[in-house]
């Protein structure tokens, strides 16, 4: 498998220009965490049939991370804390970081798998088999 680099300056600019005001906070926080070295490193390996992600999360558990597949992308986020009760009201905290990794092809979500061991989250994403268009003859009658 070859290493696939997902981080480019153009990708960051695209993220900044194509978000609404609610998401701007998340993007800014991600940039801040990235600069401070708090953003988890991700290794991406790919071949013609699958992609493997290895996310380094020392000191964390599987319950600390949310993993979502969106079309041809994977979204990783720290697990938001449980609601805090303050005078009977509940308040949800935003994730400290969110990382979206664009993939070079669509993946088969039904065959995807993830495992967390020794501080490393491994995600295996097989390529979705696209069925080519098939022409059907129309009978006159």
**pLDDT value for 64:** 87
DSSP sequence for 7-75: --HHHHHHHHHT--HHHHHHHHHHHHHHHHT-SPPEEEEE-SSEEEEEEE-TT--GGGEEEEEETTEEE
Band of the pLDDT at 120, cuts 50, 70, 90? very high
Query: Measuring CA to CA, how many Å separate 88 from each of 40, 56, 82, 84, 93?
Result: 35, 37, 14, 9, 16
Q: Is the pLDDT of residue 130 over 90?
A: no
Residue 60: partners with Cβ closer than 8 Å, 6 or more residues away: 119
DSSP annotation of 133 reads: P
**pLDDT value for 100:** 86
Exposure b/e, 48-58, CB count within 10 A at least 16 = b: eebbebebebe
pTM tops 0.75: no
Q: Which helix (H) or strand (E) holds 118?
A: none
Cβ(65)–Cβ(79) below 8 Å:
yes
Domain boundaries, the chain: 2-126
**pLDDT value for 68:** 92
CATH of region 2-126, choose from 1.10.287.3610, 1.10.150.20, 2.60.120.10, 2.60.40.790? 2.60.40.790
- Max mean pLDDT among 24-28, 43-47, 50-54, 85-89 falls in 50-54
Band of the pLDDT at 4, cuts 50, 70, 90? very low
């Amino acid at each position: 498998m070859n290493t696939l680099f997902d981080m480019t300056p153009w990708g960051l600019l695209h993220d900044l220009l194509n978000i609404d005001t609610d998401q701007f906070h998340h993007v800014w926080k991600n940039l801040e965490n990235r600069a401070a070295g708090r953003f988890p490193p991700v290794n991406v390996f790919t071949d013609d049939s699958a992609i493997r992600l290895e996310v380094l999360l020392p000191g964390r558990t599987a319950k600390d991370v949310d993993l979502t597949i969106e079309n041809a992308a994977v979204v990783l986020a720290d697990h938001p804390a449980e609601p805090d009760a303050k005078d009977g009201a509940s308040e949800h905290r935003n994730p400290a970081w969110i990382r979206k990794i664009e993939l070079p092809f669509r993946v088969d979500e039904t065959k995807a798998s993830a495992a967390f061991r020794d501080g490393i989250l491994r995600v295996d994403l097989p390529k979705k088999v696209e069925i080519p268009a098939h022409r059907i003859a129309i009978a006159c009658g």
